[in-house]
Structure 1
Amino acid sequence: MLGSIPLPAAETVELVVVFALVTVVLLLLIPFVGRMVGYLFTAIAVVYLFRRVTDV
């Protein structure tokens, strides 16, 4: 039940920052380590963000 969950401003900013950091790490890692590690980091990021959003 995601729907439209009202998040506090600080929570939203934190999620955006985490997502941005993960994106930068992915962009740096993918060319050197390969796509599998990129997929792994993406999966971890998605799970983390999902848990953060649904843990309200």
Structure 2
Amino acid sequence: MYEHFFQCPYCWEDISMLLDPSIKKQTYVEDCEVCCNPIEITPEFQENELIAFNARDIEQ
């Protein structure tokens, strides 16, 4: 597993998530651990290294 730190697009708090580098490109939704709003997470790995990461708000 790979721990990645980033800012929540809603509350701007620093949070961390565990990412699975065995899946090269993925998109999923996870709630912020601080404000509980849904964040669309899109990490991309190459040779088990994180090469791209996007965390965006889901307008509701």
Coarse TM-score class (shorter-chain normalised): under 0.3
Greater C-alpha radius of gyration: 1
Q: Which has the higher helix share?
A: 1
- Using the size of structure 2 for normalisation, the TM-score is 0.26
Question: Please, what TM-score do these two structures have when normalized by structure 1?
Answer: 0.27
Highest RCO, 1 vs 2 (Cα 8 Å, sep ≥ 6):
1
